[in-house]
Amino acid sequence: MPEFLYNNKAVNQRQERAGRQTTPRHPGEPGRYLSAQSRVNDGNIRHILRGAPSAVQTSSGLIQRLVAPGTINVSPCSTLPRQIFNRGGCGGGSDFTHNDFQSLSGVGAAGRALVWQADNLSIDFRLRNDMRLELGLLAGSEGWRMVDHFTGGSGTTLSHDSSSTLGTAALASAMFTRLNTATVAAIEAALTAMAASGAIDCNALSIAGARLPGVSFSFSDGFALKGIIGGTQGLRINITGLAVDPVKRTYDIGLQYLICDDFGVDTDDLYSPALAAFWVLQHRRAGNLPFINELDLSQSASGSF
């Protein structure tokens, strides 16, 4: 029962026992007794009512959560796609220069011999065929396309989307799976941190400090991917869409991975006849321009934070 009713009953019982033991009752006394007891009850009730606010305060945390739960404000991106990660870059360095008679200082005897043979014993047509033969064995018609674009001399970037030969291979590769997994984990961590502050702003979302794995394709990822691209030099990641449910704390996100690599060589690559032919055409012949291969891969992800 409520505590104040229990206490009043005890007071009544004590007063009744005291009345029986000390004084006999006389006519008219029951009225005085009831009046006195009423004043006692009134005093107890007023004491309880005065204490009510402190009782509410002890559970104010629970009441606050029930009445005014914390909210997360969500702001959409003002423009899409929006970059959230950028590392490295393409189109620079010693593997992107051309017709510059690059120095062979630091190149070993084997590399120098390959360059001398390519430069002095082979005509340009033969050098191009050496390149086509090796890349054709690794990548088929896609390899031949790379050689033709290089010797064509336009120098324009070749983009490979998710449905292309190289794009499809990249999406299926173990390397890209590791990259995508690490990216999604970094995004969830960023969303969790934003939610803790009470606001998720797509325009401020970034994973710039994330330690994403370097992208380097091996033969296990596909011969074409390894032969044409192999190691890469630049990575950009963009948001293409973001939907956040602040109540359920879930999200759906669209991502664009732009992975680039220079189709060009420098003195570090002089370890096969075909690569020596490539180097001579690029650095000692006019009209052959290196270019950028860029994988343009789309992904979507969903999860909670």
CB-based contacts of 111: which residues, under 8 Å, 6+ apart? 104, 267, 270, 271, 276
Contact 237, 207 (CB under 8 A): yes
- The confidence band for 16, taking pLDDT boundaries of 50, 70 and 90, is very low
SS3 content of the chain, % helix, strand, coil (to 5): 50, 20, 30
Alpha-carbon distance values, 222 to 40, 171, 225, 231, 297 (Å): 92, 11, 5, 13, 16
Higher pLDDT: 239 or 121? It is 239
- The confidence band for 39, taking pLDDT boundaries of 50, 70 and 90, is low
Instruction: Please give the backbone phi and psi of residue 179, each rounded to the nearest 5 degrees, phi first.
Output: -65, -45
Higher pLDDT: 268 or 37? It is 268
Residue 215 host element (H or E): none
- List 261's β-bridge partners, or say none: 293
User: What does the pLDDT read at residue 69?
Assistant: 52
Instruction: Please give the backbone phi and psi of residue 71, each rounded to the nearest 5 degrees, phi first.
Output: -115, 155
pTM of the model: 0.76
Q: Name the least confident of 27-41, 65-79, 227-241.
A: 27-41
Contact 261, 90 (CB under 8 A): yes
Contact 271, 152 (CB under 8 A): no
Q: Where are the domains of the chain?
A: 3-67, 73-304
Which tokens sit at 159?
A: 């983009």
Alpha-carbon distance values, 55 to 41, 46, 51, 58, 259 (Å): 20, 15, 7, 5, 62
User: What does the pLDDT read at residue 70?
Assistant: 65
119 pLDDT more than 80: yes
